[in-house]
Every structure is written in C-alpha cells, then in structure tokens.
C-alpha cells in the first residue's frame, strides 16, 4: 500500500556512513529501510533507530545475491508501493588496501571488488527502478569516492596522486560512468541520479587516520537524497561542491 511519507532504502546501513545516513534521513521524517547482509543485523539496526524515534524497518539484503535483490523489491512494493530514495551505500575495499600493486592485481580480486561496488549496484538499481519511478521525485545516490576521479589520478600534483588501488579505484570510476549514463537516460523524468564522495571518514574502511567524523561523512548522501527539483543530476558531489570526473 502506497504512503505519503518518503521512503528510503539504504544498503550497508548497519554501520558507518550507511547507518548515519539512515539516521539523518529518519530525523528528517523519512521512513528508512535499512539493509544489511544478515537479517539480525538489519533488525538490530532498525530497533536502534526506532528507539531514537525514527520510522525504521530492517531487511536482509546482500547486494551481490539476486534472490535478496528480488526479495527487497517485493518487500518495498508490498509494504510501501514505491521507493523515493535509493542510496547505494554498500561497498568493499581492495584486499591490498591502497598499496599500488596495479600490475599484480588478479582476476579474482577485480571480480570481488567490482561485483559489490559496480555490478550489484547496477543490478539492484535495475530491480528497484520501477518503484523509484512511482515516486513523484525519485532520488538515486551512488556512493563513490574521489579515488574514482581519472582527472585527479592523472595529475601528479593532486592530493590523491599517490593513493592508487586499481581494483577499488577502477570500480568507483566505472560507478561514476554508470551514474552519468543513468542520469542521462532519466533526464526527462523527475528522478535525479548523482555520485557522492563522502570524504575520508573514520570508518572501518577509512581507519582512525581519517580526518572526518561519520556524521559529516553522511552529509553528502543526505543532501543528494533531499535535492529539490532544481538540483543537479548526473554529477559527482562532495559537500555541495562538484568534483572532476
């Protein structure tokens, strides 16, 4: 049954930036569906959010599993009849971290990273897009990284020049390309599609060396999820500023 309140699905929402994104959207009065690889983790997350006064639901969604993606679509369709906001937050790092071992990256590593960071995003978005089209103002946010910027990687003087991890960076570059293509496909609809760089954030992936706290790391995703009708689409954004592809 359709409802008037906005509904958001956030993948990888049981911790870090995903959890904080769900929290901040929930505090704006949006119903949040928090997805995690295990149902128990998702339900624990929803319970925690509900205790803070947020309308939250937990679902199992390992984004790499087709049966989980189909089940998520059925859950959202049956319960809400639409999806206003899709935040493709789930992602994995390269097993080598940010050591530049480009010539040694094996096929299995590329497939593992691309499977979560790109292929699963494409598949889940394809599965849920009919529900997003039922929203009067659908928003799709793809969690990218400044490390996906070819422009900055090619500049020896850029701040990321020495942070090269081919599998991870390549997956985010490809995700950026997907963002541009999907935004172009949907340009004559109310749906906006953007890539978000959260920043270098103190998460499990970002480590304690990162300069940004998690609440600030969620800000870009939240801002893009709440864009008004005049907001951008097909852009690469960090904290309200556009980044080079």
**Gap between the Cα atoms of 88 and 128, Å rounded:** 11
Position 235 scores a pLDDT of: 98
User: CATH number for the domain including 47?
Assistant: 3.40.50.720
23 in a structural domain: yes
Structural domains counted in the chain: 1
pLDDT in tens, 72-111: 999 999 999 999 999 999 999 988 776 778 999 999 999 9
Phi, psi of 173, rounded to the nearest 5 degrees: -60, -45
| Residue 186 belongs to a domain | yes
Residue 172 is a catalytic residue: yes
The pLDDT, as a whole number, for residue 201 is: 64
pLDDT of 96 reads 79
- What is the span of the domain harbouring residue 28? 7-242
In a domain, 55, yes or no: yes
Q: Express as a percent the part of the chain with pLDDT over 90.
A: 86
Strands (E), the chain: 7-10, 31-36, 56-60, 85-88, 139-143, 192-196, 236-238, 241-242
Determine contact, residues 13/25, Cβ cutoff 8 Å: no
88 within a domain of the structure (yes/no): yes
As a whole number, the mean pLDDT across the chain is 94
What gap in Å lies between CA 2 and CA 25, rounded to an integer?
19
Asked whether residue 138 is assigned to any structural domain, the reply reads: yes
Which parts of the chain sit beneath pLDDT 70?
A: 1-3, 98, 200-212
Residue 2 covered by a domain: no
Specify the pLDDT at position 181: 98
Q: Catalytic one among 19, 23, 57, 168? A: 168
Whole-angstrom Cα distance, residue 171 to residue 235?
17
- 168 classed as catalytic: yes
**47, part of any domain:** yes
In the sheet that holds 139-143, the strands lie side by side as: 56-60, 31-36, 7-10, 85-88, 139-143, 192-196, 236-238, 241-242
Q: Which of 6, 23, 82, 172 is catalytic?
A: 172
Question: 52 lies in a domain?
Answer: yes
* Phi, psi for residue 191 in degrees, rounded to 5: -80, 135
Residue 199: the pLDDT is 79
* pLDDT score, position 1: 44
């Amino acid at each position: 049954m359709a409802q008037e309140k906005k509904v958001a699905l956030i993948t990888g929402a049981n911790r870090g930036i995903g959890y904080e994104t769900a929290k901040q959207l929930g505090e704006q009065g949006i119903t949040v569906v928090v997805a995690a690889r295990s149902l128990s983790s998702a339900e624990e997350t929803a319970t925690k959010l509900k205790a803070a006064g947020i309308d939250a639901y937990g679902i199992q969604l390992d984004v790499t599993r087709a049966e989980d993606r189909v089940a998520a679509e059925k859950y959202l369709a049956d319960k809400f009849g639409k999806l206003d906001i899709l935040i493709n937050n789930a992602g994995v790092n390269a097993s080598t971290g940010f050591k530049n071992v480009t010539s040694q990256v094996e096929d299995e590593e590329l497939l593992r990273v691309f499977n979560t960071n790109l292929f699963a995003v494409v598949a889940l978005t394809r599965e849920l897009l009919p529900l997003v089209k039922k929203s009067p103002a659908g928003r799709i946010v793809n969690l990218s990284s400044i490390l996906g910027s070819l422009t900055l990687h090619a500049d020896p003087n850029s701040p990321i020049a020495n942070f090269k991890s081919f599998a991870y960076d390549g997956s985010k570059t490809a995700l950026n390309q997907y963002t541009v293509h999907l935004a172009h496909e949907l340009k004559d609809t109310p749906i906006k599609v953007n890539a978000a760089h959260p920043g270098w954030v103190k998460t499990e992936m970002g480590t304690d060396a990162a300069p940004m706290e998690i609440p600030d790391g969620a800000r870009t995703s939240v801002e893009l999820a709440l864009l008004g009708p005049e907001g951008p689409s097909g852009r690469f954004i960090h904290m309200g500023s556009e980044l080079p592809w």
